[in-house]
Amino acid sequence: MDPIKLSSIETFAFRVPTKPIKVSFGTFRDRPCVLVRVVDVDGHEGWGEVWCNWPAVGAEHRARLAADIGERLIGRTLASPDEAFHSLTKEMEVLVLQTGESGPIAAAIAGIDIAIWDLSARKKGVPLYRHLGGPDTKFVPVYATGINPDQPEEFAVARYREGHRAFKLKIGFGREIDVRNLANMRKALGNDAKLMCDANQALSLAAAIALSREIAPSNLSWLEEPLRVDAPADDWQALASASPIELAGGENFQGDQFDGAVASHVYGVLQPDVTKWGRHYRQHPRSTSGGGGRQALLSALFRRRYRAAGIVASARRSRRRRPARVRLSSQRWPRNRGWSFAAGPRRTRASANHPRARQHPRSPRVRALSYMAAIGLAGEANE
């Protein structure tokens, strides 16, 4: 793999207003997104994403954090993207202890890692999934999620008309509401649509077992995170044995929790969140350095009929109403439509639209606040 030497890193925080989205632990009133852009000394770029859904006020903090952490890589020659991930993780260990911010720091490193892998793939002239050893494919199945408990069947039917054929309902609002909503969605969507539900760790073991049996007639593909992720392994085993519905989880696993999940056979669907915790395959006992580790884990997952359920995206509209799916492409992300922070070869400066909010002409619902914090190569500030 060709060495990589970064010249700059930028992060962008976006917020899109939306109708309130209810989950068992709170309510989202907008949709934040933090993107990372890295550029090497040869002008190649790569893009990554930092998990920032909750708390709602955390996106801008994580954008600043990713830019601050990423500056350590500016001017450094990396033998591979692996080196960036492992070196940053090691360098941040004391900071994690000092701040207690293991989640935000891990997510920031994950976004940088994704961006550097994307840059590496672009330098090779191949899509990232192929660069990582994935099979040739043109489309990835998607499902509609973030569905509120208030008349969810109406929202789902509207998305069905747009091309979606898979839907995930948020539950954890009480047994009666959860059972009724899933039954109504199944009735409205028919038997051909895929239907899943996500409790966001809201249930006790007894409640999860009882609910799984009550909602089984709705023919669900999976029941996601019914228990707390740190619940005793025996509780998860008991639920897996009693539930007529496959269990899903993984987005909140850390370290050896992911190893344990793979080995336990508790989960029918594993959902590693690469934007949240970084490279889960690194903790898997089968993994080794380089692409072999990634392939070993992927092979293990698919041999055990686990599905790649971690990718969720909006569907493109289809006039012929084919099942919703996303086309894989190498198009770059939009720039300068949100808060932006950067580490690069210029002094700290503020852009013309800071600190006032203004609407971007092409994205009228995106608040466009931008700020540039530039840090020089090897610590030098250059005009």
Give the model confidence (pLDDT) of 80-129 as tens digits: 999 999 999 999 999 999 999 999 999 999 999 999 999 999 999 999 88
Q: Of 300, 327, 354, which residue constitutes the final position of a domain? A: 327
Residues 160 and 261 in one domain: yes
Pair of tokens at residue 327: 């086309």
Residue in 105, 114, 26 with CA at minimum distance from that of residue 66 = 105
**Please, which pLDDT band fits residue 343 given cuts at 50, 70 and 90?**
low
Phi-psi region of 26 (alpha: psi -120 to 50; beta: other; left: phi over 0): left
Do the beta carbons of residue 329 and residue 128 sit within 8 Å?
no
pLDDT above 60: residue 273: yes
Segment holding 160, helix H or strand E: helix 152-162
Residue 228, C-beta contacts closer than 8 angstroms, at least 6 positions apart = 201
Q: Which domain holds residue 99?
A: 4-131+331-379
Residues 343 and 223 in one domain: no
Burial of 22 by CB count in 10 Å (0-12 exposed, 13-18 middle, 19+ buried)? middle
Half-sphere exposure of 201 (CA within 13 A, CB side): 11
Q: Give the residue carrying structure tokens 């006992």.
A: 285
Q: What is the average pLDDT score of the chain?
A: 77
Residues 157 and 217 in one domain: yes
Using the 8-state DSSP alphabet, how is residue 377 labeled? Answer: G
Q: Give the residue carrying structure tokens 């939009």.
A: 334
**Please, which pLDDT band fits residue 54 given cuts at 50, 70 and 90?**
confident
Residues 67 and 150 in one domain: no
How far is it, in rounded angstroms, from Cα 319 to Cα 350?
A: 44
Read off the pLDDT of residues 196-245 as tens digits, 9 standing for 90 and up. 999 999 999 999 999 999 999 999 999 999 999 999 999 999 999 999 99
CATH number, domain containing residue 76: 3.30.390.10
Q: Radius of gyration (Cα) for the chain, nearest Å?
A: 22
Percent of residues in the chain assigned helix, strand, coil, to nearest 5: 35, 25, 40
* % the chain with pLDDT above 90: 54
pLDDT of residue 241: 96
Beta strands in the chain (DSSP E): 4-23, 26-40, 45-50, 77-78, 139-141, 144-147, 166-170, 194-198, 223-224, 247-249, 269-270, 325-327, 339-343, 358-360, 363-368
Residues 337 and 241 in one domain: no
Residues 149 and 86 in one domain: no
Number of domains making up the chain: 2
